Amino acid sequence: MFSQEFMLNALLAGTFVALACGVTGWFVVLRGQVFAGDALSHVAFPGALAAAAAGLDERVGLFAATVAMGGAIGVFGRRTFAIGTGGGARMAPVDDTSIGIVFTFILGLGVFFLTLFSMGSGGGTGIQAAHTLFGSIFGLSSRAALLAAVIALAVTLCTVAIARPLLFASVAPEVAAARGVPTRLLGVGFLAILGVVVAEASQVVGALLLLGLLAAPAGAAQRLARSPLAGIGLSAALAVGAMWGGLLLSYAIPSLPPGSSIVAVAVAIYYGARMLT
Amino acid sequence: MPAEIAHPTLTLNPVHDVNELLEYHFMINALLAGGIVAVMAGLVGWLTVMRRETFAGHTLSLMAFPGASGAALIGVPVAWGYFACCGAGALAISRFSDRATGSWDEESAGIGTVQALALALGFLFLSLYSGVLDSLESLLFGNPLGVSDGQVRTLAIVGAVVLLALGAVARPLLFASVDPDVADARGVPVKALSTAFLLLLGLAVAATSQITGPLLVFALLVMPAATAQAITPRPLVSLLLTVVLGLAVVWLGMSLAYFSVYPAACFITATAFAIYALARLHGTARRRRSDRRPPPAIAPQLPDGVIA
């Protein structure tokens, strides 16, 4: 198996992308922003299409769209909203409605670009759309795999660098703000980082499936681990484990697409964690 | 749009244009189906926005993808797959998101996981049944101008069921949505209501995705409701406004699509978003004005029974 070059490339890119998803995913789940991550993964698709329509590299559009959307959610969205009354009041994410509306609008633009495309060149757009939506980890060149690994490692390090203040700002935003932590700036910066992770991961596992890597390992780690440090480590380890398990599975069963098997393993891990606790 | 009627022209003469719109049977079907879906999605969406379950709504709308590809794989009508998968998805979300006891962040992780699993299954079905890929665009973005008589009938039945069920649980559901803790203390079955609502949401979403496609369901489910709630805080007025906006958006979008080459979902989404943006801008402007005005020296007289 390791003598196949496509498999080595897939493992190299996959490992680091999973690492980035696991680490940022832990904060995403902690901050209740899974829907924001989901929205980012959907705007990746119109972004890539728009870039292709303008004759640019697909990746430029991908990164520009997700980082811009991340910044927009961070700047315009208020984070929480009290639901219920008195002591039982819980904080609910308030910007879910606006996130949903904005990304639906952007997807509408995506449909427009897709039509524009299929009228111009005909044929092949369905396949291309499928690639943008579902990724093609077994089709990476060694250069692309190396680039993916380097970018993923860089964003992981960025997240680790702001981990302490980000944790403080996520758990007790008011106290953190009173202590002089720039909570709003951290929120926007984190969403921008998330945008990069999403753009990167959507090339590897696909825009629609990366949510499994972002939410499932982190959700499992939130249930299993007691301390933040252990949680982040466990989340990263589970994400990498899901990636390896999925790749092995789809190598063993050729009719199983890698995106599906990776997500299946991640979901199995999440379900197992729910059973345990 | 079928090739033989591909050149209708917009003359800006309203009588002529409307006549041309209603000339073809497929267009009447499309407008009927759009109307049914707009009313149903508007009412369910209004509650979805209020309960802040847009993420669940979005996840349910993506259930259409494994539904459609799974139905194609085992050879049953696509609509069956839509409804079956949306129902299963609603149950899975209600099982995974213990909103009554758990926290919001855990809920969002649970819903995200359900969505990822559904998409992974859909992709698996798609690769097992390679024929669907040809119609990936219509699978993703719907085909409202190709609605058959049978589909209109199905939509009408589903719409009636959803409306009746909503009417039956409206009062306790509203109570449980506004203040779950107090409702729970008063003996309202909050958890069961939440599951029931998710099932209704699944039904509405499955029906809507046949018009707009799964990805643009929010154009009818969330946008009119959010617009109406941004315009007026009064529940009944905003509920009515939601339905009116939904109907306007879907009929306007379909009519524009009829006279152009772009898909109806594009126009429906763009129209809905434009109205939402206008409402938000208007709201911001109004708030600015009232901020600038000095507060009244004497508190305004409130009618009896209103707590200031």
pLDDT 10s digits, B143-152:
777 778 888 8
Closest residue of chain B to A125, computed from CA coordinates: B137
CATH topology of domain A5-276: ABC transporter involved in vitamin B12 uptake, BtuC (1.10.3470)
Distances (CA, A) of A89 to A14, B105, B126, B182: 41, 15, 44, 10
A100, B124: Cβ pair inside 8 Å?
no
Which token pair is B199? 């099932």
In this prediction, residues B155-160 reach a mean pLDDT of 92
In this prediction, residues B215-238 reach a mean pLDDT of 88
Tens of pLDDT along chain A (277 residues) come to 677 888 888 899 999 999 999 999 999 998 888 888 888 888 887 888 788 777 777 778 888 888 888 888 877 665 444 444 433 334 445 577 888 888 888 888 887 877 776 665 544 555 555 565 556 788 788 888 898 899 999 999 999 999 999 999 888 888 888 898 888 888 889 999 999 998 888 877 776 678 889 999 999 998 898 899 999 999 999 999 999 999 999 889 888 888 888 999 999 999 999 888 7
User: Given B127, B133, B218, which is nearest A126 (Cβ)?
Assistant: B133
- Is the Cβ of B226 closer than 8 Å to some Cβ of chain A? yes
- Is the Cβ of A33 closer than 8 Å to some Cβ of chain B? yes
**Nearest-CA distance A157 → chain B (Å):** 23
User: Given A33, A119, A263, which is nearest B120 (Cβ)?
Assistant: A263
A84, B181: Cβ pair inside 8 Å?
yes
In a domain, B102, yes or no: yes
In a domain, B279, yes or no: no
pLDDT of residue A55: 76
In a domain, B290, yes or no: no
- Is the Cβ of A217 closer than 8 Å to some Cβ of chain B? no
Site from B46, B52, B105 to mutate, A interface, most A CB atoms within 10 angstroms: B105
Burial level of A252, CB count in 10 A (0-12/13-18/19+)?
Answer: exposed
Closest residue of chain B to A246, computed from CA coordinates: B120
Sign of CA dihedral B264, B270, B275, B279: positive
Enumerate residues 64 to 103 of chain A having a beta carbon within 8 A of any beta carbon in chain B: 81, 83-86, 88, 90-94, 96-101
In a domain, B43, yes or no: yes
Enumerate residues 135 to 194 of chain A having a beta carbon within 8 A of any beta carbon in chain B: none
pLDDT of residue B3: 42
In a domain, B66, yes or no: yes
Kindly report the CATH number assigned to the domain that includes residue B128.
Answer: 1.10.3470.10
Enumerate residues 238 to 267 of chain A having a beta carbon within 8 A of any beta carbon in chain B: 255-257, 259-264, 266-267
Burial level of B32, CB count in 10 A (0-12/13-18/19+)?
Answer: middle
The conformation of residue B12, written as its DSSP 8-state character, comes to: S
**Nearest-CA distance B297 → chain A (Å):** 31
Closest CA to B226 of B242, B206, B204: B242
B276, A101: Cβ pair inside 8 Å?
yes
Q: Where are the domains of chain A?
A: 5-276
Q: Is the pLDDT of residue B142 over 80?
A: no
- Is the Cβ of A117 closer than 8 Å to some Cβ of chain B? no
How far apart are alpha carbons A173 and A163 in whole angstroms?
14
User: Given A91, A101, A206, which is nearest B218 (Cβ)?
Assistant: A101
B223, A101: Cβ pair inside 8 Å?
yes
- Is the Cβ of B256 closer than 8 Å to some Cβ of chain A? no
Sign of CA dihedral B16, B20, B22, B27: negative
Contacts 24+ apart (CB under 8 A), A232-238: A232/A22, A232/A23, A232/A26, A232/A163, A235/A22, A235/A23, A235/A25, A235/A26, A236/A18, A236/A19, A236/A22, A236/A23, A236/A26, A237/A22, A238/A22, A238/A266, A238/A269
How far apart are alpha carbons B265 and A115 in whole angstroms?
11
- Is the Cβ of B157 closer than 8 Å to some Cβ of chain A? no
Domain count, chain B: 1
A34, B109: Cβ pair inside 8 Å?
yes
Regarding predicted confidence, which is higher, A100 or B242? Answer: B242
In this prediction, residues B39-56 reach a mean pLDDT of 90
pLDDT of residue A87: 37
Confidence band of B25 (pLDDT split at 50, 70, 90) = confident
Mean of all residue pLDDT scores within chain B:
81
Cβ neighbours of A94 in B, within 8 Å: 52
A215, B127: Cβ pair inside 8 Å?
no
pLDDT of residue A243: 93
pLDDT for B163-214, tens place per residue?
999 999 988 998 888 888 888 889 888 888 989 999 999 999 888 887 777 7
The ipTM of this complex is 0.82
Distances (CA, A) of B296 to A81, B285, B300, B302, B305: 29, 20, 8, 14, 21
Backbone φ and ψ for A106, nearest 5 degrees, come out as: -65, -35
A100, B58: Cβ pair inside 8 Å?
yes
Residue B122 domain boundaries = 10-215
How far apart are alpha carbons B45 and B208 in whole angstroms?
11
In a domain, B72, yes or no: yes
CB B152 within 8 A of CB B29: yes
**Nearest-CA distance B97 → chain A (Å):** 11
In a domain, B272, yes or no: no
In a domain, B285, yes or no: no
pLDDT of residue B16: 73
Contacts 24+ apart (CB under 8 A), B80-88: B82/B206, B82/B209, B82/B210, B83/B158, B83/B202, B83/B203, B83/B206, B85/B118, B85/B206, B86/B60, B86/B202, B86/B203, B86/B205, B86/B206, B87/B199, B87/B202, B87/B203, B88/B63
Confidence band of B160 (pLDDT split at 50, 70, 90) = very high
User: Residue written as tokens 């799964």?
Assistant: B214
Enumerate residues 29 to 88 of chain B having a beta carbon within 8 A of any beta carbon in chain A: 49, 52, 54-55, 57-58, 62
How far apart are alpha carbons B146 and B1 in whole angstroms?
8
